[in-house]
Amino acid sequence: MGLTDEQVERYSRHLILKDVGVRGQKRLLCARVLIVGAGGLGSPVALYLAAAGVGTIGIVDDDVVDLSNLQRQIIHSTDSVGMPKVRSAAGRMQELNPGVQVNAIRATVTAGNIAELIADYDVVVDATDNFAAKFLINDACVLAGKPFVHGAVVRFAGQVMDYVPGEGPCYRCIFREMPAAGEIPTCREAGVLGAAVGVIGSVQAVEVVKLITGAGEPLVARMLTADMLGMKFRTVPLPERVPDCPVCGESPTITKLDADNYVQEACAV
Protein backbone atom coordinates (compact mmCIF):
# COMPACT_ATOMS: atom_id res chain seq x y z
CA MET A 1 0.00 0.00 0.00
CA GLY A 2 1.46 3.33 -1.05
CA LEU A 3 0.68 6.70 0.49
CA THR A 4 -1.34 9.20 -1.47
CA ASP A 5 -0.06 12.72 -2.05
CA GLU A 6 -2.58 13.98 0.51
CA GLN A 7 -1.37 11.44 3.10
CA VAL A 8 2.27 12.32 2.46
CA GLU A 9 1.47 15.96 3.17
CA ARG A 10 -0.84 15.29 6.13
CA TYR A 11 1.56 12.93 7.89
CA SER A 12 4.80 14.58 6.76
CA ARG A 13 6.01 15.20 10.31
CA HIS A 14 5.62 11.51 11.06
CA LEU A 15 7.37 10.46 7.88
CA ILE A 16 10.56 12.28 8.80
CA LEU A 17 10.75 10.61 12.20
CA LYS A 18 13.18 7.72 11.88
CA ASP A 19 11.21 5.72 14.48
CA VAL A 20 7.96 6.07 12.50
CA GLY A 21 8.62 6.85 8.85
CA VAL A 22 6.61 5.42 5.96
CA ARG A 23 6.54 1.94 7.44
CA GLY A 24 5.19 3.14 10.78
CA GLN A 25 2.62 5.39 9.13
CA LYS A 26 1.35 2.49 7.06
CA ARG A 27 0.98 0.48 10.25
CA LEU A 28 -1.06 3.31 11.76
CA LEU A 29 -3.29 3.49 8.68
CA CYS A 30 -3.99 -0.24 8.94
CA ALA A 31 -4.48 -0.28 12.72
CA ARG A 32 -7.72 -0.66 14.63
CA VAL A 33 -8.02 0.87 18.11
CA LEU A 34 -10.96 0.80 20.52
CA ILE A 35 -11.26 3.64 23.05
CA VAL A 36 -13.48 2.84 26.03
CA GLY A 37 -14.73 6.19 27.28
CA ALA A 38 -15.38 9.45 25.43
CA GLY A 39 -14.65 11.75 28.36
CA GLY A 40 -11.58 13.55 29.65
CA LEU A 41 -9.05 10.81 28.91
CA GLY A 42 -10.80 9.66 25.76
CA SER A 43 -10.84 13.18 24.33
CA PRO A 44 -7.10 13.64 23.72
CA VAL A 45 -6.66 9.96 22.89
CA ALA A 46 -9.35 10.13 20.21
CA LEU A 47 -8.15 13.43 18.77
CA TYR A 48 -4.48 12.46 18.61
CA LEU A 49 -5.15 8.99 17.19
CA ALA A 50 -7.43 10.47 14.53
CA ALA A 51 -4.79 13.10 13.74
CA ALA A 52 -2.13 10.36 13.59
CA GLY A 53 -4.09 8.48 10.94
CA VAL A 54 -5.11 5.37 12.85
CA GLY A 55 -7.26 3.74 10.19
CA THR A 56 -10.19 2.55 12.30
CA ILE A 57 -11.05 3.98 15.70
CA GLY A 58 -13.92 2.65 17.76
CA ILE A 59 -15.17 4.80 20.62
CA VAL A 60 -17.67 3.42 23.10
CA ASP A 61 -19.60 5.32 25.78
CA ASP A 62 -23.22 5.40 26.87
CA ASP A 63 -23.37 8.95 28.26
CA VAL A 64 -24.45 12.31 26.87
CA VAL A 65 -22.48 15.55 26.99
CA ASP A 66 -23.12 17.63 30.11
CA LEU A 67 -22.07 21.22 30.68
CA SER A 68 -19.88 20.13 33.61
CA ASN A 69 -17.90 17.87 31.23
CA LEU A 70 -16.53 20.74 29.16
CA GLN A 71 -13.91 21.78 31.73
CA ARG A 72 -11.84 18.76 30.62
CA GLN A 73 -13.59 16.78 27.85
CA ILE A 74 -12.15 18.87 25.05
CA ILE A 75 -13.47 16.81 22.17
CA HIS A 76 -16.95 18.15 22.91
CA SER A 77 -18.34 21.68 22.62
CA THR A 78 -21.07 23.76 24.20
CA ASP A 79 -23.23 22.99 21.17
CA SER A 80 -22.81 19.27 21.97
CA VAL A 81 -24.53 19.47 25.37
CA GLY A 82 -27.27 16.83 25.45
CA MET A 83 -25.77 14.92 22.50
CA PRO A 84 -24.48 11.35 22.89
CA LYS A 85 -20.76 11.63 23.60
CA VAL A 86 -19.81 9.11 20.94
CA ARG A 87 -21.68 11.07 18.26
CA SER A 88 -20.12 14.34 19.36
CA ALA A 89 -16.65 12.76 19.45
CA ALA A 90 -17.00 11.01 16.12
CA GLY A 91 -18.04 14.23 14.42
CA ARG A 92 -15.03 16.11 15.73
CA MET A 93 -12.62 13.28 14.84
CA GLN A 94 -13.83 13.15 11.27
CA GLU A 95 -13.64 16.92 10.97
CA LEU A 96 -10.02 16.62 12.02
CA ASN A 97 -9.24 13.72 9.69
CA PRO A 98 -11.85 12.54 7.18
CA GLY A 99 -9.52 9.71 6.20
CA VAL A 100 -10.11 7.69 9.36
CA GLN A 101 -13.09 5.45 9.98
CA VAL A 102 -14.78 6.13 13.31
CA ASN A 103 -17.12 3.55 14.82
CA ALA A 104 -19.31 5.37 17.35
CA ILE A 105 -20.74 2.78 19.75
CA ARG A 106 -23.28 4.07 22.24
CA ALA A 107 -23.30 1.34 24.85
CA THR A 108 -22.41 0.51 28.41
CA VAL A 109 -19.43 -1.83 28.46
CA THR A 110 -20.39 -4.94 30.43
CA ALA A 111 -19.13 -8.44 31.06
CA GLY A 112 -21.73 -9.58 28.57
CA ASN A 113 -20.62 -7.45 25.61
CA ILE A 114 -16.96 -6.56 26.07
CA ALA A 115 -15.57 -9.65 24.34
CA GLU A 116 -17.55 -8.80 21.22
CA LEU A 117 -16.64 -5.10 21.45
CA ILE A 118 -12.88 -5.69 21.56
CA ALA A 119 -12.77 -8.64 19.16
CA ASP A 120 -12.03 -6.69 15.97
CA TYR A 121 -9.49 -4.24 17.42
CA ASP A 122 -5.70 -4.46 17.74
CA VAL A 123 -5.29 -2.25 20.82
CA VAL A 124 -7.76 -1.20 23.53
CA VAL A 125 -7.56 2.06 25.49
CA ASP A 126 -8.91 2.28 29.03
CA ALA A 127 -10.18 5.87 29.20
CA THR A 128 -12.58 5.26 32.10
CA ASP A 129 -12.80 6.47 35.69
CA ASN A 130 -14.59 3.46 37.08
CA PHE A 131 -12.75 0.67 38.87
CA ALA A 132 -15.27 -1.92 37.69
CA ALA A 133 -14.63 -0.91 34.08
CA LYS A 134 -10.86 -0.91 34.56
CA PHE A 135 -10.81 -4.44 35.99
CA LEU A 136 -13.28 -5.58 33.32
CA ILE A 137 -11.16 -4.14 30.48
CA ASN A 138 -8.06 -5.74 31.96
CA ASP A 139 -9.61 -9.16 32.42
CA ALA A 140 -11.26 -9.17 28.99
CA CYS A 141 -8.06 -8.12 27.24
CA VAL A 142 -5.97 -10.70 29.10
CA LEU A 143 -8.43 -13.46 28.23
CA ALA A 144 -8.55 -12.34 24.59
CA GLY A 145 -4.80 -11.76 24.29
CA LYS A 146 -5.27 -8.06 23.46
CA PRO A 147 -2.84 -5.29 24.43
CA PHE A 148 -4.33 -2.30 26.20
CA VAL A 149 -3.22 1.06 27.55
CA HIS A 150 -4.44 1.95 31.03
CA GLY A 151 -4.82 5.51 32.26
CA ALA A 152 -6.21 7.03 35.44
CA VAL A 153 -6.36 10.51 36.93
CA VAL A 154 -7.83 12.27 39.96
CA ARG A 155 -7.22 15.76 41.32
CA PHE A 156 -3.73 16.68 39.98
CA ALA A 157 -2.28 13.16 39.67
CA GLY A 158 -2.40 10.37 37.13
CA GLN A 159 -0.82 7.17 35.90
CA VAL A 160 -0.32 5.22 32.68
CA MET A 161 0.79 1.64 32.01
CA ASP A 162 0.63 -0.77 29.07
CA TYR A 163 -0.34 -4.40 29.05
CA VAL A 164 1.08 -6.57 26.27
CA PRO A 165 0.30 -10.29 26.42
CA GLY A 166 3.29 -12.32 27.57
CA GLU A 167 5.52 -9.28 28.11
CA GLY A 168 4.69 -7.91 31.54
CA PRO A 169 2.13 -7.67 34.34
CA CYS A 170 -1.52 -6.81 33.84
CA TYR A 171 -3.52 -4.27 35.83
CA ARG A 172 -4.80 -6.97 38.19
CA CYS A 173 -1.22 -8.15 38.86
CA ILE A 174 -0.55 -4.73 40.38
CA PHE A 175 -3.85 -3.85 42.07
CA ARG A 176 -5.26 -7.38 42.49
CA GLU A 177 -8.73 -6.60 43.88
CA MET A 178 -11.21 -3.85 43.17
CA PRO A 179 -11.45 -1.34 46.05
CA ALA A 180 -14.71 -1.25 47.94
CA ALA A 181 -17.24 1.33 46.84
CA GLY A 182 -16.42 4.67 48.48
CA GLU A 183 -12.93 3.60 49.54
CA ILE A 184 -11.23 5.78 46.90
CA PRO A 185 -12.91 9.05 45.86
CA THR A 186 -13.97 9.49 42.25
CA CYS A 187 -13.32 12.60 40.21
CA ARG A 188 -16.90 13.64 40.92
CA GLU A 189 -16.16 13.58 44.64
CA ALA A 190 -12.52 14.72 44.71
CA GLY A 191 -12.32 16.98 41.66
CA VAL A 192 -9.89 16.87 38.77
CA LEU A 193 -7.82 19.45 36.91
CA GLY A 194 -8.85 19.48 33.27
CA ALA A 195 -5.33 19.99 31.93
CA ALA A 196 -4.03 17.10 34.09
CA VAL A 197 -6.50 14.78 32.37
CA GLY A 198 -5.22 16.08 29.04
CA VAL A 199 -1.63 15.22 29.95
CA ILE A 200 -2.47 11.64 30.91
CA GLY A 201 -4.71 11.11 27.88
CA SER A 202 -1.97 12.45 25.61
CA VAL A 203 0.53 10.02 27.13
CA GLN A 204 -1.92 7.20 26.45
CA ALA A 205 -2.13 8.28 22.81
CA VAL A 206 1.69 8.22 22.58
CA GLU A 207 1.73 4.70 24.01
CA VAL A 208 -0.83 3.49 21.47
CA VAL A 209 1.24 4.90 18.62
CA LYS A 210 4.36 3.21 20.03
CA LEU A 211 2.61 -0.15 20.33
CA ILE A 212 1.37 0.07 16.74
CA THR A 213 4.57 1.31 15.12
CA GLY A 214 7.11 -0.45 17.31
CA ALA A 215 8.77 2.87 18.14
CA GLY A 216 10.56 3.39 21.41
CA GLU A 217 10.02 1.54 24.67
CA PRO A 218 6.38 1.10 25.70
CA LEU A 219 5.33 1.29 29.34
CA VAL A 220 5.37 -2.49 29.72
CA ALA A 221 6.44 -3.64 33.21
CA ARG A 222 6.62 0.06 34.08
CA MET A 223 4.11 2.63 35.26
CA LEU A 224 4.38 6.34 34.63
CA THR A 225 3.10 8.34 37.60
CA ALA A 226 2.53 12.07 37.42
CA ASP A 227 2.08 14.53 40.29
CA MET A 228 1.25 17.68 38.37
CA LEU A 229 0.77 19.83 41.45
CA GLY A 230 4.45 19.31 42.29
CA MET A 231 5.29 18.65 38.60
CA LYS A 232 7.00 15.36 39.40
CA PHE A 233 7.00 12.51 36.91
CA ARG A 234 8.36 9.06 37.77
CA THR A 235 8.62 5.77 35.93
CA VAL A 236 8.05 3.02 38.46
CA PRO A 237 9.34 -0.47 37.61
CA LEU A 238 6.75 -3.21 37.87
CA PRO A 239 7.36 -6.95 38.25
CA GLU A 240 7.97 -8.81 35.00
CA ARG A 241 5.68 -11.64 36.09
CA VAL A 242 3.21 -12.24 38.91
CA PRO A 243 2.77 -16.03 38.94
CA ASP A 244 -0.23 -15.97 41.29
CA CYS A 245 -2.21 -13.31 39.39
CA PRO A 246 -5.80 -14.57 39.26
CA VAL A 247 -6.21 -13.76 35.56
CA CYS A 248 -2.78 -14.00 33.87
CA GLY A 249 -0.86 -16.13 36.37
CA GLU A 250 0.19 -19.75 36.22
CA SER A 251 -3.09 -21.08 37.67
CA PRO A 252 -5.71 -18.44 36.86
CA THR A 253 -8.97 -18.46 38.76
CA ILE A 254 -10.61 -15.91 36.45
CA THR A 255 -11.25 -17.78 33.22
CA LYS A 256 -14.49 -16.10 32.20
CA LEU A 257 -16.20 -12.78 32.84
CA ASP A 258 -18.83 -12.94 35.59
CA ALA A 259 -21.01 -9.82 35.64
CA ASP A 260 -21.31 -9.96 39.44
CA ASN A 261 -17.58 -9.22 39.75
CA TYR A 262 -17.75 -5.88 37.96
CA VAL A 263 -20.61 -4.00 39.60
CA GLN A 264 -19.85 -0.43 40.63
CA GLU A 265 -21.26 3.03 40.00
CA ALA A 266 -19.65 4.57 36.92
CA CYS A 267 -18.09 8.00 36.80
CA ALA A 268 -16.78 9.40 33.52
CA VAL A 269 -13.59 11.40 33.85
- Check the annotation: does 79 bind a ligand: no
Instruction: Please state the pTM of the whole predicted model.
Output: 0.96
- 22 lies in a domain? no
Q: Is 187 one of the catalytic residues? A: yes
- 235 lies in a domain? yes
- 9 lies in a domain? no
- 243 lies in a domain? yes
- Check the annotation: does 173 bind a ligand: yes
Among 30, 141, 187, 267, the active-site one is: 187
- Structural domain count of the chain: 1
Among the listed residues 233, 197, 198, 228, the one whose alpha carbon sits nearest the alpha carbon of residue 48 = 198
What pLDDT, on a 0 to 100 scale, did the predictor assign at position 264? 58
Per-10-residue mean pLDDT, the chain, length 269? 94 98 98 98 98 98 97 98 98 98 97 97 96 96 98 97 96 89 77 96 98 98 98 96 94 92 58
- 76 lies in a domain? yes
- 116 lies in a domain? yes
Sign of CA dihedral 242, 247, 248, 251: positive
What pLDDT, on a 0 to 100 scale, did the predictor assign at position 190? 86
Tell me the per-residue pLDDT of 221-237, one tens digit each, with 9 for 90 and over: 999 999 999 999 999 99
For position 95, which CATH number holds? 3.40.50.720
- Check the annotation: does 172 bind a ligand: no
What pLDDT, on a 0 to 100 scale, did the predictor assign at position 268? 46
- Check the annotation: does 141 bind a ligand: no
- 108 lies in a domain? yes
Domain, as residue range, for 196: 31-262
What pLDDT, on a 0 to 100 scale, did the predictor assign at position 260? 80
- 144 lies in a domain? yes
